[in-house]
């Protein structure tokens, strides 16, 4: 043990006597370890971000969005006769019933892979309670909505079956609505006005913190700002676009070139599939069923968020591979630099080695001295590289909006890699120093 301590002290003396050279030697290790830390931080953060995003949209989900009508008539085809002469102009004027609850019932019957279906109707309106007024989204839903979107009611209760059966005037509100509209008082059991209709608050959602970037990226809403009512209540008491009223009669007298009103009964539907392997074929089947029911008019859009996230993950893995190659090259260059400096150090200290050997030092002592020196340089570079890597990851997260997550095991791996490089690349110079003939070494000037 005394021999180990002595050799370690001699190694530190050698490093301190050549501070600038030691720091320059460690630069390769510093940048290599920093690249490893940043790479693992970005990779781990990206994986966690994808997991978080899946929890927001629900796994194995397919989203069907209604497309707004356009000037070509009641359908989603945006091409005109002038834009594409191969399109039959009569086909653009065909009738489509729009996205409806009947479509969802058909999909539930036809598709054996369907687990849950959550249709949604969204409309902005004024919310009033006492003297407080706030504009918010009123969303008609079923109870499957909460399960698919991983939402929980923190206060009160979910909707009962009788609420849907009778179209009851009840609602569940988001935490932001509860805070702003009711101003610290419990909203449970109180009546609030949504547009022209009064609803009784039966529940408040647990708050969910979602970054704005994730909301835009996944095309989801901030549910904290929404008011939820049974979808049957929405259709009965607020608006059912399938009903023909005075506005529809008047619209028929308008100029054909005017933009038509939204004719879809529902605005959106999220369909959860039983197993991941059925997601893609189910999306294709949904498209075929809806096209057939809509007279071959594509007035809807189908999105598979999980596939988009998998593509994002694949891109991230490619980036991680590039970063790993860069980190590996930096570490290799750093190791070669350590070996070169240590070989030069052996040539400079031949007389020192000869004196030590003549005073009784063994070859193993000389090997340990130079190995300790190489490993110490690597570890110093590793520690500085870890600090630089952590800072770099934070800077990347701040300015490039890329999620990063520094873990203890990534720091441990970097530390072990730095020590291993010093050990491997310091072995050759150490052996060369130990194999010097003491008599020849003493004669060297």
Which of these ranges, 174-183, 233-242, 398-407, 436-445, has the smallest mean pLDDT?
Answer: 436-445
Segment 41-48 shows an average pLDDT of: 73
pLDDT tens per residue, range 323-373: 777 777 777 777 787 777 777 777 666 767 777 767 777 777 777 777 777
Split at pLDDT 50, 70, 90, the class of 51 is: low
Q: What does DSSP say about strands 61-66 and 153-156: parallel, antiparallel, or unpaired?
A: unpaired
Confidence of residue 405 (pLDDT cuts 50, 70, 90): confident
**Residue-level pLDDT at 205:** 92
Q: Which has the minimum average pLDDT: 81-85, 95-99, 289-293?
A: 81-85
Predicted pLDDT of residue 117: 92
Whole-model pTM over 0.85: no
Mean pLDDT of the 386-411 span: 79
Is it the case that residue 222 has pLDDT exceeding 90? no
Question: Does residue 272 contact residue 36 with C-beta atoms inside 8 Å?
Answer: no
CB neighbours of residue 345 within 10 Å: 19
Between 155 and 56, residue with greater pLDDT: 155
pLDDT in tens, 282-308: 989 999 999 999 988 888 898 887 666
SS3 string, the chain, reads CHHHHHHHHHHHHHHHHCHHHHHHHHHHHHHHHHHHHHHHHHHHHHHHHHHHHHHHHCCCEEEEEECCCECCECCCCCCCCCCCCCCCHHHHCCCCCCCCHHHHHHHHHHCCCEEEEEEEEEEEEEEEECCEEEEEEEEEECCHHHHHCCCCEEEECCCCHHHHHHCCCEEEECHHHHHHHHCCCCCCCCEEEECCEEEEEEEEECCCCCCHHHHHHHCCCCHHHEEEEEHHHHHHHCCCCCCCCHHHHHHCCCCCCCCCCCCCCCCEEEEEECCHHHHHHHHHHHHHHHHHHCCCCCCEEEECHHHHHHHHHHHHHHHHHHHHHHHHHHHHHHHHHHHHHHHHHHHHCHHHHHHHHHCCCCHHHHHHHHHHHHHHHHHHHHHHHHHHHHHHHHHHHHHCCCCCCCCHHHHHHHHHHHHHHHHHHHHHHHHHHHCCCHHHHHHCC
User: Do residues 207 and 188 touch, judged by C-beta distance below 8 A?
Assistant: no
Instruction: Quick: pLDDT tens for 125-180.
Output: 999 998 888 888 999 999 999 888 888 898 999 999 999 988 899 999 999 899 88
d(Cα 243, Cα 262) in Å, to the nearest integer? 12
Closest by CA position to 375, among listed 4, 11, 9, 2: 11
Is the predicted pLDDT of residue 229 greater than 90, yes or no?
A: yes
In this predicted structure, which of 19-23, 45-49, 61-65 has the lowest mean pLDDT?
45-49
- What are the residues whose beta carbons fall under 8 Å from the beta carbon of 261, sequence distance 6 or more? 69, 241, 247, 251
Distance between start and end Cα atoms, the chain: 33
Name the CA radius of gyration of the chain, rounded: 35
Please give the mean pLDDT across all residues of the chain: 77
At residue 70, does pLDDT exceed 90?
A: no
pLDDT score for 381: 82
**pLDDT at position 199:** 95
């Amino acid at each position: 043990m005394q021999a180990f301590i002595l050799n370690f002290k001699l190694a530190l003396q050698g490093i301190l006597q050549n501070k600038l050279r030691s720091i320059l030697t460690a630069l390769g290790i510093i940048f290599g370890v920093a690249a490893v830390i940043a790479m693992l931080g970005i990779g781990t953060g990206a994986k966690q971000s994808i997991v978080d995003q899946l929890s927001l949209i629900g796994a194995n989900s397919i989203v069907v969005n209604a497309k707004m009508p356009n000037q070509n008539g009641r359908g989603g085809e945006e091409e005109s006769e002038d834009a594409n002469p191969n399109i039959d102009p009569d086909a653009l004027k065909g009738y489509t019933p729009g996205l409806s609850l009947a479509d969802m019932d058909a999909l539930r019957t036809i598709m054996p892979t369907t687990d849950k279906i959550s249709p949604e109707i969204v409309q902005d309106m004024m919310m009033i309670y006492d003297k407080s007024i706030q504009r918010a989204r009123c969303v008609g839903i079923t109870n499957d909505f909460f399960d698919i979107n991983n939402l929980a009611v923190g206060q009160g209760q979910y909707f009962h079956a009788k609420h849907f059966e009778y179209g009851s005037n009840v609602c569940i509100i988001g935490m932001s609505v509860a805070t702003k509209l009711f101003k610290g008082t419990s909203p449970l059991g109180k009546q609030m006005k949504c547009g022209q209709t009064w609803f009784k608050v039966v529940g408040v959602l647990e708050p969910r913190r979602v970054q704005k970037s994730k909301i835009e990226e996944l095309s989801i809403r901030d549910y904290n700002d929404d008011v939820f009512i049974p979808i049957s209540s929405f259709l009965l008491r607020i608006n059912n676009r399938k009903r023909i009223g005075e506005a529809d009669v008047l619209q028929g007298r308008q100029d054909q070139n005017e933009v038509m009103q939204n004719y879809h009964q529902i605005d959106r539907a999220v369909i959860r599939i039983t197993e991941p392997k059925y997601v893609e074929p189910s999306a294709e089947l949904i498209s075929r069923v809806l096209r057939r029911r809509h007279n071959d008019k594509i007035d809807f859009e189908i999105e598979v968020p999980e596939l988009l996230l998998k593509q994002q993950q694949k891109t991230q893995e490619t980036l991680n591979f590039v970063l790993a190659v860069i980190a590996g090259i930096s570490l290799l260059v750093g190791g070669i630099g350590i070996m070169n400096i240590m070989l030069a150090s052996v040539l400079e200290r031949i007389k020192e080695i000869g004196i030590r050997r003549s005073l009784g030092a063994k070859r193993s002592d000389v090997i340990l001295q130079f190995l300790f020196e190489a490993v110490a340089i690597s570890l110093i570079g590793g520690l500085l590289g870890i600090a630089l890597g952590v800072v770099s990851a934070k800077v990347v997260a701040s300015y490039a909006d890329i999620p990063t997550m520094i873990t203890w095991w990534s720091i441990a791996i970097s530390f072990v890699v730095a020590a291993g490089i010093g050990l491997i690349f310091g072995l050759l110079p150490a052996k060369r120093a130990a194999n010097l003939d003491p008599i020849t070494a003493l004669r060297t000037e």
